[in-house]
Amino acid sequence: MLEYQKAPYLELDNYKAPKGISSIFVSMEDGKRIRLAFWKNPSEKDSCKGTILLQQGHNEFIEKYYESIQEFIDRGFCVVCFDWRGQGMSERMIDDKRKQFIEDFNIHDLDLSFIIEKIIKPNLPKPLIGIGHSMGGCIILSSLVNHDQDFKAVILSAPMLGFKNERLLNLLIRLSSFFRKGDDFLIGSKPNYGKETSFKNNDLTTDPIRYKRTQNLVKLLPEIRLWGVTNTWAKAVLKRLLYIRKNKWLENIKTNVLIINNLEDKVVDSNKILEISSRIKNCDVLKFEKSKHEIFMENDENRKKMWKKIDEFLNSSTF
């Protein structure tokens, strides 16, 4: 029997969870608890267009996506999302809650499969549309090896498919492996506990209001945020990137895929995204030139362009 209990969620005076939220902690097969939220009206189940599985990136959390969740609900979808283990309000893998630590992304794959099989399939209507931002996009894309038939369509926002200077990252990992423990911060990272990056210097969004909104959520519960990555996590990321690029499994994906790519992205490598997208048969790419990494958190003009494309894609590829 699936074990779960009610889980808390954050709200601001001017930024509330969409009505009908159910927030729970679900125990994974190894006993670790994942925080999951979903929006479903049983009396209108037959009228739902399907279910959106909306997954965030590294160092994000469910509350950050309330606005986008409401927009999907307004379009007639049920929505489910969860905090990846090791971040948000999901259980950490080490005692120091400030650090991003995971030994292998396979454990994310297992969590995702568990939630699809045990929660989504029995309780939420088809078709299932997967949406993943950054790290979430990387994991959602990887999941198509085993869940190609489960997803009717997939949307990847600035997916973490490469970094601009991976040689340097490799060097930092080797140095960290020699001089530091696996759960120590990666050499070169500079955690600054409690001090957020100013809007002027941020690489995430051009929208000051949405940027400040995220900071205000963190103020309510500082431990919902991470303050740096460990050497072990960085190793796991590079291992997953190599896995995605190798062999021919990308070419065998049958699911319709839309990728939102920010050409001036300073967090992930937009060129690597284009390279990988060219290997997927049914893949469309929406390119932005005047946005930053988090398109769902971008200014109204950019989001309007994003939603126009998402609506076109969903209407043409799933129904």
- Reported as a single tens digit per residue, the pLDDT across 244-255 is 999 889 999 999
Class of domain 4-317 as given by CATH: alpha beta
As a whole number, the mean pLDDT across the chain is 93
Query: Considering the chain, what percentage of its residues have pLDDT values greater than 70?
Result: 97
In this prediction, residue 193 has a pLDDT band, given cuts at 50, 70 and 90, of: confident
Query: Which pLDDT value is given to residue 195?
Result: 83
Whether 45 has a pLDDT exceeding 60, the answer reads no
Kindly report, residue by residue over 108-166, the tens digit of the pLDDT: 999 999 999 999 999 999 999 999 999 999 999 999 999 999 999 999 999 999 998 88
Whether 273 has a pLDDT exceeding 60, the answer reads yes
Q: What is the average per-residue pLDDT within 285-297?
A: 96
Whether 178 has a pLDDT exceeding 90, the answer reads no
Query: Which pLDDT value is given to residue 316?
Result: 87
Report the half-sphere exposure of 182 (CA within 13 A, side-chain side): 10
Q: What is the average per-residue pLDDT within 273-298?
A: 96
Q: What is the average per-residue pLDDT within 24-28?
A: 97
Query: Which pLDDT value is given to residue 44?
Result: 53
Distances (CA, A) of 145 to 140, 195, 210, 254: 10, 39, 34, 10
Whether 43 has a pLDDT exceeding 60, the answer reads no
pTM over 0.85: yes
- The H or E element containing residue 113 is helix 106-115
Whether 304 has a pLDDT exceeding 60, the answer reads yes
Q: Which residues of 185-200 are buried (b: 16+ CB within 10 A; e: fewer)?
A: bbbebeeeeeeeeeee
Q: What is the average per-residue pLDDT within 52-78?
A: 97
Whether 42 has a pLDDT exceeding 70, the answer reads no
Lowest average pLDDT, out of 15-29, 75-89, 191-205, 209-223, goes to: 191-205
Whether 318 has a pLDDT exceeding 90, the answer reads no
Cα 176 to Cα 238: distance, rounded to the nearest angstrom: 14
Cα 82 to Cα 251: distance, rounded to the nearest angstrom: 29
In this prediction, residue 171 has a pLDDT band, given cuts at 50, 70 and 90, of: confident
Q: Which residues of 110-136 are buried (b: 16+ CB within 10 A; e: fewer)?
A: ebbebbbeebbeeebbebbbbbbbbbb
Q: What is the average per-residue pLDDT within 28-44?
A: 86
In terms of pLDDT, which residue wins out, 65 or 196? Answer: 65
Q: What is the average per-residue pLDDT within 13-29?
A: 97
Q: Where are the domains of the chain?
A: 4-317
